[in-house]
Chains A and B, each alone.
Chain A
């Protein structure tokens, strides 16, 4: 079969000393970029693109893909250690990763993050290489109505992220959705809620909100509580235990597969994947109560789902030339800069490049794991510094990151504003995650809902003709009402058992 021949050439290309070197440099640079909040993989790839212009296209793309991978993991490190997600996909990692760090378990959190990214990355890479064309045609069956239904399914996970009060969770999600209505209306192009401010035309970016709500608010909150002590960690606590691994095994596979499918769909992205992957893990966990308070499966699920989604995003990118995520869109731009036209013929016209690139993903993942596992204790030890030293650094990094998003002060002001909002949210116990989820899903929900209704000429009954969408709606209903139905069912059974 051709497949193995391609695999051999692919690894041949990826393992050439030059490509290996640039893959390593890419992963390393990517990790550093990911560590800076706000500088996510898309910006990182775009910024470093000019540096690769003198390389051969294959080597350059391998390096850029290495940056993409590295940035993902770098973002994980800051989410766990200082609750500052470097990019949107690692927000969910902070939900359990940061509490783990506060409990002195930063080591296992970082390690499981690296390991679950690696494992689900490899599984999804095998799927990508073996079945990319199959998944690509599947992705095309997901039009606007299906994505809309998927987002409704995504909204059901609010319940899982609400903490103590479901009402507060819903309120925060609604606020998030409301925030996404600011800016130019995607349908008509008219300005909404901008009050004539051109800064608001592009809407309120996701990253300033995340950096504000997580990092800045956390610092303000801790400073007010006044008794922050360095976290004492022992070296033996930093190592992943067999028990931890056993708890996470199935989670990694389950959330990884789900993440891959979501990544394949154009436009859905790694952020939605990590939210849904986390929710899936919570539903099937034996330790439901620990989620949000430092459950290691939470970190594993989020990381497995988002790195699988990263690979999934390459399916439409490489087979159709349709980007599956923001970062792959930038990579497609890089293809064009190198004179390679991405599209359905890429596999036929540039087999060396495509297979070399995909094989380099394997190598990149391995380098990432080998690079980062030994460094876990080093990173975790950073938390042993006094907070008088750490907090100014967090604020400094946050504001640099906020500035770097668009290279202007606007991001900094937004971050500061959301930092203050986040502080009050923490003080009065309002959960942050639903707000983030609302922002991630709100814009997409509006867009796909309007697209669906325009496709039906203004009639939403078009949903009824879309079986995949209906299945997703049914699934959403089941998640919301399943527990009640199960309760009622067991009540009836008990009652009838008593009678008999």
Chain B
């Protein structure tokens, strides 16, 4: 066990300069039995990012790591991209670290909730320890600037009369679920074209191949500012408070009365199963304190997210609610 561990660490160093500090974790300090009430990590902590470097999860994982290191002295967190299986490999890694408080997971709705509903994976969100939600991302419905559709009802009317192509990234994506909610509420159906990413959706929209697309604010903001696309609505309870997103009507304002829970994409932190209360509280507080820093604000602003911190039971309840609202929707989406 130790030998494999050492070798793994060695290889990592050989492969990446950025992880050079990982060698430090070979020598394990043995104070795991420190008093529970005052628990704090005594060895290097890993922030597992279950997706490739450069993506939304990676940006979150790195921002959270920097934030926790800022609010907690003498703590060393290394970001590890454990990629594979659309996130499943990273989640399983934590599942195997039962009771180990030195592993955190940068998580979001897709891999935490949707993947286990759609596929047979060895984990589920409720098998891990919920630490905290740190931010929320919303879904907007966007059209090209020269599109004849000025509102969601225009789009719905068009779908009643003929084929309306929409771009989504994957059947289980927040965009797909958002359109599904409109379809159910208005009793119409859109013609789904699945693309591999938000930017591919945008390209299809700009090229005129689809009438509308789902996008989160970060993906669409620059195109909106450049008058290339318009947002018809946003699945959010209240409007954004900064221009130009403040002009986008909420889905309720657009006349569609639905629960937006399934369309939200949370960004937060989960931990290994079986953490003690003290360990859980330690990490919860770290995230809470991070959310009060400048770095957090910058992260939220740069990525056009909504600040939202939920911890403990509140976070667990949110996860359960997302699961319970998404599962039936996915079953109805063929």
Enumerate chain A interface residues (CB-CB to B < 8 A): 29, 36, 39, 42-43, 45-51, 139-144, 184, 186-191, 196, 198-202, 266-267, 316, 320-323, 329-330, 332-334, 336-337, 339, 341-346, 400-401, 403-404, 406-408, 410, 447, 450-451, 454-455, 457
Contacts and interface: CB of A to CB of B under 8 A. Distances in A.
21 contacts: A45-B54, A47-B16, A47-B18, A51-B17, A186-B196, A187-B171, A187-B194, A201-B84, A266-B200, A320-B202, A333-B55, A339-B302, A344-B223, A344-B228, A400-B15, A403-B15, A406-B81, A406-B84, A406-B89, A410-B89, A451-B195
Contacts, number: 183
B147 to A, nearest CB: 15
B85 A455 contact: no
B201 to A, nearest CB: 10
B53 A451 contact: no
A140 B84 contact: no
Contacts of B142: none
B79 to A, nearest CB: 8
Contacts of A144: 193, 204, 209
Contacts of A51: 17-18
Interface of B: 11-12, 14-19, 52-55, 58-59, 62, 80-86, 88-89, 92, 118-122, 163, 165, 170-172, 191-197, 199-200, 202-204, 206-210, 218, 221-223, 225-226, 228, 298, 302-303
Contacts of B209: 143-144, 455
A321 B119 contact: no
Given A321-B222, A333-B55, A189 B165 contact: no
Contacts of A316: 203
A427 B119 CA distance: 40
Contacts of A337: 59, 62, 302
Given A49-B53, A404-B16, A345 B222 contact: yes
Contact of B207 (A143, A187, A188, A342): A143
A321 B215 CA distance: 14
A49 B55 CA distance: 13
B178 to A, nearest CB: 16
A408 B82 contact: yes
A202 B82 CA distance: 12
B195 A188 contact: no
Given A47-B16, A321-B222, A457-B191, A141 B207 contact: yes
Contacts of B92: 198
A187 B81 CA distance: 25
Contact of B303 (A196, A336, A408): A336
B54 A333 contact: yes
Given A184-B86, A199-B84, A333-B58, A39 B203 contact: no
A399 B82 CA distance: 17
B186 to A, nearest CB: 19
A319 to B, nearest CB: 10
A336 B302 contact: yes
A403 B171 contact: no
Given A140-B203, A141-B207, A144-B204, A344 B226 contact: yes
A404 B15 contact: yes
Contacts of A342: 222
A191 B115 CA distance: 10
Residue from the set B54, B170, B209, B225 with the largest chain A CB neighbour count within 10 Å: B54
Contacts of A343: 221-223, 225-226
A139 B204 CA distance: 11
Nearest to B15: A404
Nearest to A136: B206
A406 B85 CA distance: 11
A198 B192 CA distance: 27
A372 B275 CA distance: 53
A407 B80 contact: yes
A345 B226 contact: yes
A132 to B, nearest CB: 15
Given A143-B207, A266-B200, A455 B119 contact: no
Residue from the set A142, A342, A454 with the largest chain B CB neighbour count within 10 Å: A454
B53 A408 contact: no
| CB-CB nearest 5 A-B residue pairs | A343-B222, A46-B53, A404-B15, A201-B85, A330-B54
Given A50-B18, A51-B18, A202-B86, 10 more contacts: A46-B52, A46-B54, A49-B54, A139-B203, A323-B199, A330-B53, A333-B58, A336-B302, A404-B15, A406-B84
Residue from the set B62, B84, B303 with the largest chain A CB neighbour count within 10 Å: B84
Contacts of A344: 222-223, 226, 228
A404 B208 CA distance: 40
Contacts of B122: 198
Residue from the set A191, A196, A342 with the largest chain B CB neighbour count within 10 Å: A191
B200 A321 contact: no
Nearest to A462: B209
A450 B83 CA distance: 26
A191 B86 CA distance: 11
B119 A201 contact: yes
B97 to A, nearest CB: 15
A354 to B, nearest CB: 13
B142 to A, nearest CB: 13
Contacts of B210: 455
Contacts of A334: 54
B207 A142 contact: yes
Contact of A329 (B54, B120, B191, B204): B54
Contacts of A143: 203-204, 207-209
Nearest to A406: B83
A191 B15 contact: no
Nearest to A411: B84
Contact of B82 (A36, A46, A191, A406): A406
A196 B192 CA distance: 28
B203 A454 contact: no
Contacts of A42: 52, 54
Contacts of B119: 184, 189-191, 201
A39 B15 contact: yes
B53 A47 contact: yes
Contact of B221 (A198, A341, A408): A341
A202 B85 contact: yes
Nearest to B83: A406
